[in-house]
């Protein structure tokens, strides 16, 4: 007889937990990078937005 179903379930559970932990660590790292870029991204975005609105209003007039 192989390992009992309970043991197999426990092992699958632990493997899933480890995968989730890896994914979570990766997401945290990505979010940290994004938050550091967010400040510059917001400046660029607001400038582009202002330029875009000016162009739009010029086209409408």
Query: Is the pLDDT at 56 greater than 80, yes or no?
Result: no
Name the band, by pLDDT with cuts 50, 70 and 90, for residue 19: very high
Q: Provide the pLDDT for residue 61.
A: 60
Q: Provide the pLDDT for residue 6.
A: 92
Residue with tokens 């975005």: 45
Q: Provide the pLDDT for residue 58.
A: 75
Could you give the percent of the chain with pLDDT greater than 90?
36
Show Cβ contacts of residue 3 under 8 Å, excluding neighbours closer than 6 positions.
11
3-state secondary structure of 61: coil
Query: Is the pLDDT at 17 greater than 80, yes or no?
Result: yes
Where are the domains positioned within the chain?
Answer: 1-60
Average pLDDT over the chain reads 86
Task: Tell the burial category of 8 from Cβ atoms under 10 Å away from its Cβ (0-12, 13-18, 19+).
Answer: exposed
């Amino acid at each position: 007889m192989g390992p009992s179903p309970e043991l197999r379930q426990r092992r699958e559970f632990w493997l899933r937990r480890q995968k989730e932990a890896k994914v979570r660590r990766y997401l945290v790292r990505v979010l940290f990078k994004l938050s550091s870029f967010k400040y510059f991204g917001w400046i660029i975005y607001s400038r582009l937005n202002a330029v875009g609105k000016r162009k739009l209003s010029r086209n409408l007039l």
